[in-house]
Homo-oligomer: A and B are copies of this chain.
Amino acid sequence: MKPTQKHTIHDIAMRIGTSASTVSAALNGTWKARRIKEETAQRIIALAREMGYSVNLQARGLRTARSGLVGLILPEHSNRFFSDLSQSFTVEARARSQCPVIIATARKPEEELSTVRDLMGYSIDALFVAGAADPSQISDICRAAQLPHVFIDQPCPGAPSVITDNETGARQLTEAIIDTLAPHSPALEGTGREKVYLLGGDARLHASSRRIAGFQSAITAHFGKCDADQVIACGYEPEVAQTEIQALYARLGGLPAGLFANSINVFEEVLRFLSQRPEIELGAFSLGCFDYEPYGALLRLPVHMVRQRHLELVRTAWELLDKPGSTDLVTVPPELCLARPRRLPPEG
């Protein structure tokens, strides 16, 4: 109960009357292989516990050229998806008796690189990279240092990557939006208000382009065509999204039949806009979000959501690491979270 000073294996060796290497073996579990007498091992272990001894992992790491640390870099902590990832990563790391080191790099390429270098200085055993701004440079550095690494969410050409199946997810989400469309109203025909729109995202990015493809395929399957104006890939900036939703509303002279919000930020802006509209308008509006936010389920307006399977992503990433040399791009289907049906029609 009072491990006042830092003890070393030598202290223990001395008190037991044995050598440091025996103590080391007893304490790190290799004693069976080293044919240490069971009783000796137990005595050592018992004393160590009594003294409150704990190994110096820096020393061990220096000697073994490993560290027991596994890194995860991600853009930010304050984001549901990434904090879910952190959670899963922590659980999986500990299950493998590794110590997770999670660092947010603010979507800045330079910060990503310097963080990677930092982590390499600590001899981390592996690096996970989620949502990287600059995947290939990171991969270059890791490869040069022979550091096993894997990308999550944002893939890297030539390096093992695991991402969500954006196209399938988008198709399913679009179908759900279509399924909850209000009954067809001839009055709206030709106004553009009878259509479903996709808002947000950057068509040049891998993820967005797949989502757009999924959206278009579902729309075409159901309506026979998908007009160019139904895809508003205006990026991820909240201000821009807000402007666009307002513009769309003005152009159509009201809400469209349905909307596919292509990211949590965009969704937030849509809600902000909707919170200013009279409830009556929402009655015939079908909304979906490609991202997950539990509060979405608490709105009075039903919202379909797509949720990335963070645990699956992390587990798959670890598996990719286990078969070295792989440059696979693995895809994990997301989870579709359907809104419960509307309970309270606007007329109360």
Contact residues in B for A76 (Cβ distance below 8 Å): 87
Contact residues in B for A144 (Cβ distance below 8 Å): 2-4, 52
**Given known A-B contacts A87-B78, A144-B2, A58 and B298 have beta carbons under 8 A apart:** no
Interface 1/0s, chain A 106-125, versus B by CB < 8 A? 00000000000111111100
Q: Are A145's CB and B6's CB within 8 A?
A: yes
Number of A interface residues at 8 Å Cβ cutoff, please give it: 61
Q: How far is the CA of A293 from the CA of B268 in the complex (A)?
A: 12
Q: How far is the CA of A76 from the CA of B84 in the complex (A)?
A: 9
CB under 8 Å from chain B, chain A span 78-108: 78-80, 83-84, 86-87, 90, 99-104
Contact among B83, B122, B277 for A78, CB-based, below 8 A: B83
Q: Are A268's CB and B298's CB within 8 A?
A: yes
**Given known A-B contacts A54-B121, A144-B52, A77 and B83 have beta carbons under 8 A apart:** yes
What's the nearest-Cβ distance from chain B to residue A70, in Å? 11
For this chain, the copies found in one complex come to 2
Q: How far is the CA of A77 from the CA of B343 in the complex (A)?
A: 33
Q: How far is the CA of A77 from the CA of B79 in the complex (A)?
A: 10
Binds B, one of A59-67, A126-134, A221-229, A321-329: A59-67
Contact residues in B for A280 (Cβ distance below 8 Å): 348
A190 on interface, CB distance cutoff 8 Å: no
Contact among B277, B294, B299 for A275, CB-based, below 8 A: B299
Q: How far is the CA of A142 from the CA of B128 in the complex (A)?
A: 30
**Given known A-B contacts A58-B58, A117-B54, A122-B58, A100 and B100 have beta carbons under 8 A apart:** no
Q: How far is the CA of A76 from the CA of B312 in the complex (A)?
A: 19
Q: How far is the CA of A88 from the CA of B114 in the complex (A)?
A: 19
Q: Are A77's CB and B78's CB within 8 A?
A: no
Q: Are B344's CB and A276's CB within 8 A?
A: yes
A55 on interface, CB distance cutoff 8 Å: yes
A50 on interface, CB distance cutoff 8 Å: no
Contact residues in B for A15 (Cβ distance below 8 Å): none
**Given known A-B contacts A83-B78, A87-B76, A348 and B57 have beta carbons under 8 A apart:** no
Q: Are B78's CB and A80's CB within 8 A?
A: yes
A45 on interface, CB distance cutoff 8 Å: no
Q: Are B344's CB and A120's CB within 8 A?
A: no
Q: Are B78's CB and A67's CB within 8 A?
A: no
Contact among B145, B296, B348 for A278, CB-based, below 8 A: B348
A279 on interface, CB distance cutoff 8 Å: yes
Contact among B61, B103, B122, B343 for A90, CB-based, below 8 A: B103
- Could you give 5 example pairs across A and B, Cβ below 8 Å? A54-B117, A62-B62, A69-B122, A79-B83, A99-B118
8 more A-B residue pairs beyond the given contacts A58-B62, A275-B298, A275-B300, with a C-beta to C-beta distance below 8 A: A2-B144, A56-B123, A57-B118, A77-B84, A83-B83, A101-B101, A268-B298, A295-B295
